[in-house]
A and B are shown apart, each in its own frame.
Chain A
Amino acid sequence: SQKIEQNSEALNIQEGKTATLTCNYTNYSPAYLQWYRQDPGRGPVFLLLIRENEKEKRKERLKVTFDTTLKQSLFHITASQPADSATYLCALERGSTLGRLYFGRGTQLTVWP
Chain B
Amino acid sequence: DTGVSQNPRHKITKRGQNVTFRCDPISEHNRLYWYRQTLGQGPEFLTYFQNEAQLEKSRLLSDRFSAERPKGSFSTLEIQRTEQGDSAMYLCASTLKDGNTEAFFGQGTRLTVV
Contact = CB atoms under 8 A, between A and B. Distances in A.
Interface size bucket, A side?
Answer: 20 to 34
Which applies to chain A's interface (DSSP): helix, strand, loop or mixed? strand
Interface string B80-99: 00000000000101010111
Interface string B1-45: 000100000000000000000000000000101010000111111
Interface size bucket, B side?
Answer: 20 to 34
A36 B44 CA distance: 14
B110 A41 contact: yes
Interface of B: 4, 31, 33, 35, 40-45, 48, 56, 91, 93, 95, 97-108, 110
Given A34-B103, A44-B43, 18 more contacts: A4-B42, A36-B105, A42-B108, A43-B91, A43-B105, A43-B107, A44-B103, A46-B102, A49-B102, A51-B100, A99-B48, A99-B99, A99-B101, A100-B33, A100-B48, A100-B56, A103-B35, A103-B44
